[in-house]
Amino acid sequence: MKTKAATLRELLRTSRPVVSPGVYDGYSARLVEQMGYRTAATTGAGLANSVLGQPDIGILSLMENVDVCRHLARSVSIPMMADADTGYGNAVTVYHTVQYFEEAGIVGINIEDQVSPKRCGAMRGKDVIDSREMCKKIEAAIKAKKDPDFIINARTDAIAIEGIEGAVRRAREYAAAGADMIYPDAIRNEEDVRRILDAVPDTPVNINMGFGVRSRPTSPLIPLKRLKEMGVARVSCPRMLTAAAISGMRKALEQMRICIETGEVIDRPDLLASMEEIAALAGYDRIDALEREFTLPEDLERRYGGEDRSFVVHGTEKK
């Protein structure tokens, strides 16, 4: 039976570019799968912001990250990668980091060459470690993984510090160290993409895109068709869903404030998912099926009689 990691490896070869939306909770993870995407990835910034209410500056710990990722990975059937920041320390720490994420059901991780504590890729003031140290982290990560298809995605933030020349040099070094994929963060234009692709012709390249985010301080939007022509293997969209969620929640709260101020009830179903949609997304139908299979018939009759046993009936929670 093919593993999820092997499935992603095949997609990277045959379905370029694989679009991987960034997820941060059960709703976003399940929605990505429901909408037909074949892979997803957790967003480190999204987890730090939503789980801790903190900026993405290395405050989210290894085990906090792993614990969230374990739940998200088991909630979907598609392969899910994760953001492992700098690997939470040195090469020895990276070794354990890989094993924890792999045991959690994740199929691959990003490891970046920033100085710890890291900063979100869009922030100023980033710094990078010696490329030789990063290569040791990659070597440790490769040795640690049990599934040979588990993906080590080596991210470099060097463009902001050393320019494209430094990023190209690092990409070559990281590929030579055995990285399964190269991820140059904060690319500035198509020429940056081309130079990275030319530097590592035998290694898949991941490009980060900010689809839908109004403020794009780093990477420009490049059409997927063009990225495919260039040979990009994967496109990650870490901020799209968090930005969409914040915008949607703000609109709903603004509408509620209007209701409070006017005293009127204003129904805006266009701003909200229905209870049926929420139940379907959360998987209540599976609970109904398990209940029908394993609950005593007399208990089912007592609870429901001859009625529909679904969690939601006509938009109302079953009592």
Task: Tell me the pairing of strands 312-313 and 316-317.
Answer: antiparallel
317 CB contacts (<8 Å, ≥6 apart)? Answer: 275, 311
**Predicted pLDDT of residue 219:** 75
Question: CA 265, CA 3: separation in Å to the nearest integer?
Answer: 51
Neighbours of 62 (CB within 10 A): 17
**For the chain, what is the largest distance between any 2 Cα atoms, rounded to a whole number of angstroms?**
72
Q: CA dist 41 to 35, 105, 162, 258, 260, Å? A: 15, 12, 27, 37, 39
Tell how far CA 8 is from the center of its chain: 14
User: 286 and 228 in one domain?
Assistant: no
* Rounded-to-10 torsion of CA 257, 259, 263, 264: 170
Gap between the Cα atoms of 179 and 202, Å rounded? 11
User: For the whole model, what pTM was predicted?
Assistant: 0.92
Q: Which tens digits make up the pLDDT trace of 165-211?
A: 999 999 999 999 999 999 999 999 999 999 999 999 999 999 998 76
Query: Do 222 and 286 fall within a single domain?
Result: no
Report which of 170, 236, 227 is spatially closest to residue 22, judged by C-alpha positions. Answer: 236
Residues 79 and 99 occupy one common structural domain: yes
Q: Are residues 15 and 122 in the same domain?
A: yes
263 and 231: one domain?
A: no
Q: Does the structure show a pLDDT above 80 at 315? A: no
Q: Is the pLDDT assigned to residue 216 strictly greater than 90?
A: no
Co-location of 161 and 293 in the same domain: no
The angle, 0 to 180 degrees and rounded to 10, between the axes of the packed helices 275-282 and 26-34 is: 90
Do residues 174 and 244 share a domain?
A: no
pLDDT at 319 over 50: no
Percent of the chain with pLDDT over 90: 84
Chain-centre distance of CA 76, in angstroms? 13
For the segment 6-32, the average pLDDT, to the nearest whole number, is: 97
Range with lowest mean pLDDT among 39-43, 220-224, 279-283: 220-224
Q: Average the pLDDT over 44-57 and give the result.
A: 95
CATH number of the structural domain spanning residue 39: 3.20.20.60
Cα 190 to Cα 154: distance, rounded to the nearest angstrom: 20
Reduced to 3 states (helix: H, G, I; strand: E, B; else coil), residue 53 is coil
Domain co-membership, 260 together with 299? no
All residues at 6 or more sequence positions from 24 whose CB lies less than 8 Å from its CB, including other chains: 42, 43, 46, 47, 49, 50, 51, 241, 242
Q: Which of 142, 15, 23 is nearest to 75 (CA)?
A: 23
Whole-number mean pLDDT of the chain?
92
Q: Give the count of domains, the chain.
A: 3
H-assigned helices in the chain: 4-14, 26-34, 44-47, 62-74, 91-103, 131-144, 159-176, 190-199, 224-230, 240-262, 275-282, 284-294, 297-304
Shared domain for 246 and 110, answered yes or no, is no
Digit-coded pLDDT (tens) for 297-313: 999 999 888 665 555 54
Domain boundary among 238, 257, 282: 238
d(CA 6, CA 243): 31
pLDDT of residue 133: 98
* 171 and 146 fall within a common domain: yes
| Residue pLDDT, tens place only, 233-292 | 999 999 999 999 999 999 999 999 999 999 998 889 999 999 999 999 999 999 989 999
> Where does the pLDDT of residue 9 fall: very low under 50, low under 70, confident under 90, or very high at 90 and above?
very high
Residues spanned by the domain of 305: 273-319
Residues 6+ apart with CB under 8 A from 155: 110, 111, 112, 113, 183, 184, 185, 206
Residues 189 and 306 in one domain: no
56-81 per-position pLDDT tens digit: 999 999 999 999 999 999 999 999 99
Q: For the segment 125-141, what is each residue's pLDDT rounded down to a tens digit?
A: 899 999 999 999 999 99
Say if residue 261 is in the same domain as residue 198.
no
